[in-house]
Structure 1
Amino acid sequence: MEIVVGFVIRMHAIVLLLHITATCAQKRPNFVFMLMDDMGWGDIGAFGNPAKETPYLDRMASEGALFTDFYSANPLCSPSRAAMLTGRLPIRNGFYTSTYHGHNGYTPQNIVGGIADSEILLPELLKENGYHTKLVGKWHLGHQEQYLPLNHGFDEWFGAPNCHFGPYDDQTTPNIPVYKDLEMQGRYYEKFSIDRKKALSNMTKLLTDQALEYIQRMHDSETPFFLYWAPDSTHDPVYSSAAFRGKSQRGAYGDAVMELDYSVGMIIKLLKDLKLDENTLVFFSSDNGAAMLSNKCCDGSNGPFLCGKQTTFEGGVREPTIAWGPAFVKPGQISNQLGSLMDWYMTALDIAHIPLPSDRTLDGISLREVLAGGKRVERPLFHYRGNTLFAVRWGLYKAHYWTWTNSWEEFNKYGYEFCRGEYVANITTHTQMNYTSRPVMFHLGRDPGEKCPMKYDSEYDAAMELIRDAVERHQQDLVPGEPVLDVCDDAVMNWSPKGCEAIGDCLKSPPSRPYKCVWLH
């Protein structure tokens, strides 16, 4: 009898322990990171877009916190995304090129490098602490197998490793593959259709369905989760599904924004319906500013800010950012906190009570108290272009050590510049301007568009003293990572990704001939 009673007691204890474990796991906060592609600060109604075509994002902002002064860590996609997931500037995590001074680099499909194994990504730390992790959408941190998401902390992935450029002929250049986990399922412009002429594709709907299914499944299994949702329909060539085509007064780009807005609304609604809103933190932002190509007038808006993507002017790096989650975010906030996408790394670990890596310098800060309505944190932000520190913001002051838009070579060959319809003398030039001895400074409170450089007076001197001290401290512990954006090779393009055999879509690659990548800007 005693044996039976003891057995029953032990079984009861085990069941109770399992119940407590499951309950504790479910109480751990969930995280949803929504990162748009080339969406500008002025594209959302809550940030002042006059079309007012983003009701779901506007509601998200009213129920959460709208950040007016939030930045990417780089004015281009791949370095910005690498910084967000590592909490480290691209100069530290290696997402820069050393072969040009002050030029941007990214991960086209002929790039040899990718995210280093030595970098500790946020999903890795969350996974080690009991979280399930999924990326839905664009990766852009390297497309060779060793660099793909499932080798860097993600349990699942549906999306593409590169931009949806194309269509290509699959002979000189392969079309970009779309993956499910570690195996390709097809290619853009083939199985996954994009009609460039009509600006039509169902990709945003597919990515939204993937996100909704994942949230539902994690809820049903009572598993804490990290969802990184990274659609790319606002990146050239823009697209939307047929249900949204022609709905916006802003053209095809506006249609894409409207569909993304609707998708955000669906994700937030599901979190509420499942009562996961009580324990989920959602961040929304963009990887860099909207493209302001001078030969096109159909892309996004950076509001009052100078220039766009590729530049370290405000239009290139200030992002439309919203935080939402009733348990973590005081509703109705309009926050002037100086923030960075790198802060998401620190904030998630802080809220999840997971220790930070102690063997490296991190460049973000935790926004936990700010989200709850606490005081702003004074801090500098460093804006690099490639391997060079171009600008520093401290408070409302922004000092430019170097300025330019893009090269004369690119402008003369393609007609490209990145400051559509804007010109500031000796600032928005096609030649790199060196102001390191006496930086050009703007007061972003009085002059958010960076049109009128400050005079070299006592106000300038006081601000520059603070900024020089911040730069000196920053450079004292700066150890640049090994650059991963220097070498290209057509043989490493997406010829025969894993899984191509199963669907009969393996292509013949050319011989390997590594060469120095060409970055015109």
Structure 2
Amino acid sequence: MKSLLLASFLFFSSLFATKAQSKQPNILFLIADDWSFPHAGVYGDPVVRTPTFDRLAAEGALFTNAYTASPSCSPSRASILLGRYPHQNGDGGNLWSEFPNAHPTYVQILEKAGYFTGATRKGWGPGEFKVTGFEHNPAGKSFADFTAFLKERKAGEPFTFWFGSSDPHRDYVANTGIQAGMKLENVVVPGFFPDNDCVRNDILDYYFEIERFDRECGQLIAMLEEIGELDNTIIVMTSDNGMPFPRAKANLYDFGTRMPLAIRWPKKVKAGTVIHDFVNFVDFAPSFVEAAGLSKNSMSGQSLWALLAGEKQDRNQVFLERERHANVRKGDLSYPMRAVRNQDYLYIWNPMPERNPVGDPTVHQSVGQYGDVDHSITKFLIMAMEGKAEAGQPDLFQLSFGLRPEEELYDVKKDPYQLHNLADDPAFSEMKTVLRQQLLAWMEETNDPRFEDPRSTFWDQVRYTPDYQMKDIDWQKQIEEYRIRPPFGSVREIPCLPSSQQ
């Protein structure tokens, strides 16, 4: 009799545990590669079509002030996985680094707790992870696609899956946007670009890849619906850093750090929620771990669920940073930046202003001239503007490729493209001091090595894993050969030579 009761107890205990485990939420993390805010339909962009992102926003929460921890692939993704700021991740604060192994990722924590984990395409990276002891990419075991992952998953097993698209990273196939029916005249051109058809065409090609990412995300969500797991899955759709254009990606201005973000989870997120508070990508990992009922002890980020439930939090500002992006300065030098952004101002501290923020004007190792900016027709056209700034107009070459002062301050409401530095304006002296003190207090609190030693060479010396040597590019030839080719065999072909050479 006792043995029968014991057997019954064990059976029902096991059944209860299985059901309890099955109620743990799944996590589907959808991350683009180089997609900036506000390039989505729900944010009001007049051109790009993002029905999947817009749906998640309508059925969940839309964030208007979500910021990457660093505007560079590897450090951004490391902070997502670890819930820690880039300067807390050692080597992981650089692009093309080695993944740090001192603290667990949210994937490891969930896997240890019984989650089935996986990833496809671009996980953490670029860089190396096996040298620090990882058997697979820190984002999860590699699968060919979401279908293969779901086939291998056991029934009722909670899962976390990372879908890492390579869109809208460069290179682009020229004219894909315009040939998909998008209109040059509808593009909103950021104020730090020249406004001409060739730049507009480049932006359309970027939009084309955003739309492709959006479609693929929609296919994954449809699979969740088919297996009946949609409402038990936390779906996050975002990007790692800003668009691959000058003064965007690898910069702490908004087009480098401010990200599209939508989260759907009916259990915790009311449909149609809009969050204007500031959130940082270090908040993802503690949110996922907390949702699974697990400990997040080593993380610096703050879980998002209380915020999404309406709790008032201290989220009036966000702190940003970057170190070495590509290896584009003689001596393998980093370009350190730290910043604080609130609703009214962006304050940036450049502790080594003598270094070029976008790299040397001739190639050191990677990419080419000014190698922290991906090659593009937009980049080359701005390079062609060197020394040709018109009186009363912003010097676009200087803004993208010139040296910067140690301090920058922007009124983001009056100057949304951050073109006019107010750091030396006496009228903003008090505000600059307040923001500088906030930034330094955060650096001290989070043990940023640059608080004690602003000119630390730690990130200069971190290994850059590629061993290739790239060459300078003939950018003038690239301009000469670039043509806008509208669809349907139109006779109109638009060249991109600077006006002085046409």
Question: Is the 1:121–1:152 contact (alpha carbons within 8 Å) kept by the matching residues of 2?
Answer: no
- Alpha-carbon deviation of 1:376? 4.9
Name the structure 1 match of 2:117.
133
Name the structure 2 match of 1:92.
88
* Aligned residue-pair number: 405
- Alpha-carbon deviation of 1:134? 0.9
SS at match of 1:428: helix
Question: Is the 2:339–2:347 contact (alpha carbons within 8 Å) kept by the matching residues of 1?
Answer: yes
**In 2 relative to 1, CA 151–63 (structure 1 residues): closer, same or farther, beyond 3 Å?**
same
Report the Cα distance in structure 1 between the residues aligned to 2:61 and 2:159, rounded to whole angstroms: 22
- Alpha-carbon deviation of 1:151? 4.9
Report the Cα distance in structure 1 between the residues aligned to 2:308 and 2:362, rounded to whole angstroms: 42
Name the structure 1 match of 2:34.
38
Equivalent of residue 311 in structure 1, options 251, 259, 262: 251
1:396 aligns with 2:324: no
Deviation per residue, 1:97-150 (Å, 9 max, x gap): 7xxxxxxx411xxxxx51122132111111222212112121315336335864
Equivalent of residue 409 in structure 1, options 340, 350, 361: 361
Report the Cα distance in structure 2 between the residues aligned to 1:414 and 1:480, rounded to whole angstroms: 30
Name the structure 1 match of 2:483.
none
Deviation per residue, 1:305-336 (Å, 9 max, x gap): xx311111111111111111111212112211
1:146 aligns with 2:131: yes
- Alpha-carbon deviation of 1:289? 0.3
Equivalent of residue 465 in structure 1, options 431, 434, 443: 434
**In 2 relative to 1, CA 458–72 (structure 1 residues): closer, same or farther, beyond 3 Å?**
same
SS at match of 1:311: coil
- Alpha-carbon deviation of 1:78? 0.8
Opposite residue 93 of structure 1, the aligned amino acid is N
Name the structure 2 match of 1:443.
411
Report the Cα distance in structure 1 between the residues aligned to 2:92 and 2:394, rounded to whole angstroms: 27
Report the Cα distance in structure 1 between the residues aligned to 2:169 and 2:2, rounded to whole angstroms: 64
Name structure 2 gaps, 5 residues minimum: 183-202, 324-333, 383-392, 451-457, 470-502
Equivalent of residue 383 in structure 1, options 320, 327, 338: 320
Name the structure 2 match of 1:278.
231
Equivalent of residue 273 in structure 2, options 333, 340, 346: 333
1:77 aligns with 2:73: yes
SS at match of 2:131: helix
Question: Is the 2:70–2:320 contact (alpha carbons within 8 Å) kept by the matching residues of 1?
Answer: yes
Report the Cα distance in structure 2 between the residues aligned to 1:349 and 1:324, rounded to whole angstroms: 16
Name the structure 2 match of 1:27.
23
Name the structure 1 match of 2:163.
229
1:247 aligns with 2:180: yes
Deviation per residue, 1:265-304 (Å, 9 max, x gap): 12222323433233221111111100115xxxxxxxxxxx
Name the structure 2 match of 1:106.
95
Question: Is the 1:239–1:256 contact (alpha carbons within 8 Å) kept by the matching residues of 2?
Answer: no
Name the structure 1 match of 2:302.
365
Opposite residue 338 of structure 2, the aligned amino acid is F
- Alpha-carbon deviation of 1:426? 11
- Alpha-carbon deviation of 1:52? 4.3
**In 2 relative to 1, CA 245–22 (structure 1 residues): closer, same or farther, beyond 3 Å?**
farther
- Alpha-carbon deviation of 1:25? 0.6
* Range 281-290 or range 383-392, more displaced: 383-392
- Alpha-carbon deviation of 1:449? 1.7
Report the Cα distance in structure 1 between the residues aligned to 2:441 and 2:370, rounded to whole angstroms: 38
Name the structure 2 match of 1:509.
none
Report the Cα distance in structure 1 between the residues aligned to 2:119 and 2:461, rounded to whole angstroms: 23
- Alpha-carbon deviation of 1:54? 1.5
Give RMSD over aligned pairs.
3.5
**In 2 relative to 1, CA 311–431 (structure 1 residues): closer, same or farther, beyond 3 Å?**
same
Report the Cα distance in structure 2 between the residues aligned to 1:395 and 1:233, rounded to whole angstroms: 29
What is the TM-score normalised by the length of structure 1? 0.68
- Alpha-carbon deviation of 1:70? 0.9
Opposite residue 345 of structure 1, the aligned amino acid is A
Name the structure 2 match of 1:347.
287
Mapping of 1:148-187 within 5 angstroms? 150-151=135-136, 156-158=141-143
Question: Is the 2:92–2:100 contact (alpha carbons within 8 Å) kept by the matching residues of 1?
Answer: no
Opposite residue 89 of structure 1, the aligned amino acid is Y
Report the Cα distance in structure 2 between the residues aligned to 1:11 and 1:114, rounded to whole angstroms: 50
- Alpha-carbon deviation of 1:454? 4.3
Deviation per residue, 1:458-487 (Å, 9 max, x gap): 665146325414422422541549759733
SS at match of 1:12: helix
Equivalent of residue 430 in structure 1, options 376, 401, 406: 401
**In 2 relative to 1, CA 458–488 (structure 1 residues): closer, same or farther, beyond 3 Å?**
closer
Name structure 1 gaps, 5 residues minimum: 98-104, 108-112, 159-206, 294-306, 494-521
Report the Cα distance in structure 2 between the residues aligned to 1:417 and 1:154, rounded to whole angstroms: 25
Deviation per residue, 1:197-253 (Å, 9 max, x gap): xxxxxxxxxx6xx124424654x511111111111132112479x9x9953527554
Report the Cα distance in structure 2 between the residues aligned to 1:117 and 1:251, rounded to whole angstroms: 40
Opposite residue 342 of structure 2, the aligned amino acid is W
**In 2 relative to 1, CA 350–234 (structure 1 residues): closer, same or farther, beyond 3 Å?**
same
Report the Cα distance in structure 1 between the residues aligned to 2:468 and 2:396, rounded to whole angstroms: 42
**In 2 relative to 1, CA 356–136 (structure 1 residues): closer, same or farther, beyond 3 Å?**
same
- Same amino acid, percent of matched pairs: 21
**In 2 relative to 1, CA 376–265 (structure 1 residues): closer, same or farther, beyond 3 Å?**
farther
